[in-house]
Each structure stands twice: as C-alpha cells, then as structure tokens.
Amino acid sequence: MADLYLRALESERKALWAACRLKGLAKGTPERRRIDELDELLAAHKAKKAG
C-alpha cells in the first residue's frame, strides 16, 4: 500500500521548492524554512520506516 504521508510531504516539498526557485527566494524566508522542516520530517519518517 502506498505511504500517503510520505507522498504528501514530498509533494508539498516539491511545490514549495518550485515556487522558491521561480521567485528566487533567499534562505531564511518562511517557505525555505518550511522546506528544511519537511526535509527533517522526511528523514525521520524514512528512518522510522526502515527500522
């Protein structure tokens, strides 16, 4: 079965990253901080799933 939580996190990250690149947003903006937060959530979820 598909991991919907993982897919939702990855989808949100991908959309935010595209918006940041399009707008040329610098580090420290709320969008970039959310991307960092999503990276941490993704890593934690994958680690939990792996073992």
Q: What is the pLDDT of residues 1-51, one digit of tens each?
A: 568 999 999 999 999 999 999 999 898 999 999 999 999 999 999 999 887
What's residue 32's pLDDT? 95
Which candidate, 20, 38, 37, places its Cα nearest to that of 29?
Answer: 20
pLDDT of residue 1: 53
* Amino acid at the residue 10: E
How far, CA to CA in Å, does 6 sit from each of 10, 21, 24, 28?
A: 6, 23, 26, 25
- pLDDT at residue number 44: 95
pLDDT at 35: 96
